[in-house]
Chains A and B, each alone.
Chain A
Amino acid sequence: MEIHYLTAHQLKDILEKKQISCTEIVESVYLRIEEVGDRLNSYIRLEKESALSRAGEVDKLISAGSDIEDFMGMPIAIKDNICTKNITTTCASRILENYIPIYNATVIDRLESRNYILAGKANMDEFAMGSSNENSYFGTVKNPWDTDRVPGGSSGGPAVCVAAGEAVCSLGSDTGGSIRQPASLCGVVGFKPTYGMVSRYGLVAFASSLDQIGPLTRDVEDCAAMLNIICGYDRKDSTSINVEVPDYKSFLKADIKDMRIGVPKELMVEGIDREVKEAVYRIIKLVEDMGGIVEEISLPSLEYALSVYYIIAPSEASSNLSRFDGVRYGYRNVEARTLREMYRRSRAEGFGDEVKRRIMIGTYCLSAGYYDAYYEKAQRVRTLVINDFKKAFEKFDVLISPTSPTTAFKIGEKMEDPLTMYLSDICTIPVNLAGLPAISIPAGLSGSKLPIGLQIIGNVLREDNVLKVAYSLEKAIGFTGRPGL
């Protein structure tokens, strides 16, 4: 198999056996990027030169006898809404086209302490708003399984990098499904940890109460290893949870005997493709064969999750994105002669349509006379969603559902109708509202050879159950598909 398709733990093994050097790994990944990069558009910025020089340093460390830790010397793609000091961080927006952070996100500091290698900054939907990666100022990202199709979003770039061998793994962010949905559409593993497990410091905020950073990897083992690095308390993030971080790799056991697994019926109804549903049913059968107990369950409030999300997320976003005003950083219209004109023209020209649309929705929902009916009401219904999940987890260890109601759709197909696009996240959104951990793993291919994803949801801080089920099913499913490009 090609080097660029190996997992981090496989690469670590052959590094330890001195069968390969970091420099060779990095070179092979960049060769692959040169080969497919133009067709996929998954990176906004490549860091080839510094990556190769870092690789050289890591090789020296290794030949000097240093222990090889997980992800040491691994070229990793970072979604371009995670701040990297002295390296542009654009959020795929014109308004931040030339923005150079003056600090590192906490996750970047953590990775640097492990001698990771920054492969480049990955493309995304502008400010993480979108489900198809068509909302990027730097152009649409293409699905490597079919370049006429979308990779999903908003972490389309990070998903494609992993799926197409353009990085060993990547970090994305997930506000309503932005890691899991593209992972599903691209046939890779994507994990959203419990809200508060990974510091948000340095993640450019979309919706603060929903955002969470997480890994996209080629298998569940890499995912667990990455969680070991990025999870943990950060005093710079007041919403970070101060608990001891377990060794996530210790949950990688292929054993789900007697585990209780619920299937929320609200996530298996209208709008879900037949093939997607069939894949879930096949997995239910697998679970039962392995001794797991599967039951259907109803979470009635999920019917309203999409509405709650499309009030809360844009409301928080409208405030979070106020800071992009052309004063301290970012794009400014230089012809404007007054301050207000400068604000309006900079923002009108700097933001794309979807971002503006969400700022408008959010501003409206928070404005005088509407706050109680929209924002506050949504916060109340959010409590009901949380309560439904709480009840479900009294009975079940994990819940499973499709990650995305469909496989990858055609580029342009949903661009004219925002609401239809929003429905792509129907299965992933409730998880963010309740702050739960959830993973998407490849569940197989559709008839037209497009990946289908399975979502496994755990209770708050029960990453252990999620990983255990994911690892077991990954082994049982045995997905080995690679995009044909």
Chain B
Amino acid sequence: MAVLRGNLMERISKDDVKHVAKLAELEFSEKDIEKITSQLDRILEHVANISSVNTEGITPTSHILDIKNVFRDDMAEQSVTQESALKNAPDEANDGFKVPKID
């Protein structure tokens, strides 16, 4: 587990930013990497103040509602037409969405 700043000043590096960009399928110029690294660093430094909060025995909230077991019955509904499905496709061929060579 990473230790948050506040305990240990772990700064985000340009290499971290490049790695994260790769995960997110984004790309930045060298110049932008520089800028975004310092912006992220500042934001992350700010949000790291939560590391000082005592959360022992506190369960994480992923739903603010006390709702459970929301299901649908296994009943078929109308699909959209093939034409609708492909309407927004940037490129299509043979009734499918065409993508460049997978690498």
Contact = CB atoms under 8 A, between A and B. Distances in A.
Nearest to A370: B2
B61 A310 contact: no
Given A337-B101, A338-B102, A342-B99, A318 B60 contact: no
A311 B47 contact: yes
Contacts of B49: 303-304, 307
Given A310-B47, A360-B26, A419 B67 contact: no
Contacts of A347: 24-26
Nearest to B69: A238
B27 A328 contact: no
B67 A241 contact: yes
B27 A332 contact: no
A376 B70 CA distance: 24
Interface string B49-74: 11101010011111111010010100
Interface stretch (A41-49, A158-166, A275-283, A378-386): A378-386
Given A102-B80, A329-B89, A357-B39, 9 more contacts: A103-B80, A301-B53, A304-B49, A306-B47, A307-B47, A311-B50, A329-B90, A372-B1, A373-B2
B63 A239 contact: yes
Interface in A332-374: 332, 334, 336-345, 347-348, 351, 356-357, 359-361, 363-364, 367, 369-370, 372-374
Contact of A342 (B44, B62, B100): B100
A350 to B, nearest CB: 10
Among B65, B85, B89, chain A packs the most CB atoms within 10 A around the CB of: B65
B88 A304 contact: no
Contacts of A363: 20, 23-24
B61 A364 contact: no
B43 A419 contact: yes
Contacts, number: 184
- The 7 closest A-B CB pairs, nearest first, are A379-B60, A329-B88, A435-B64, A332-B90, A380-B55, A307-B47, A338-B103
Interface of A: 98-100, 102-103, 195-196, 209, 235, 238-239, 241-242, 301, 303-304, 306-308, 310-311, 318, 322, 325-332, 334, 336-345, 347-348, 351, 356-357, 359-361, 363-364, 367, 369-370, 372-374, 376-384, 386, 418-419, 422, 433-435, 460
Contacts of B59: 380, 383
A424 B94 CA distance: 50
Contact of B20 (A235, A332, A367, A384): A367
Contacts of A334: 90-91
Nearest to B65: A196
Given A209-B63, A304-B50, A357-B36, A102 B87 contact: yes
- With most chain B CB atoms within 10 A of its CB, the pick from A307, A310, A435 is A307
Nearest to B45: A419
B3 interface: yes
Contacts of A359: 24, 26
Contacts of A325: 25
Given A378-B50, A383-B61, A434-B64, A339 B90 contact: no
A377 B55 contact: yes
Contact of A238 (B48, B51, B70): B70
A339 B88 contact: no
Contacts of B51: 373, 377
Contact of B58 (A235, A303, A356, A384): A384
A364 B99 contact: no
Nearest to A418: B39
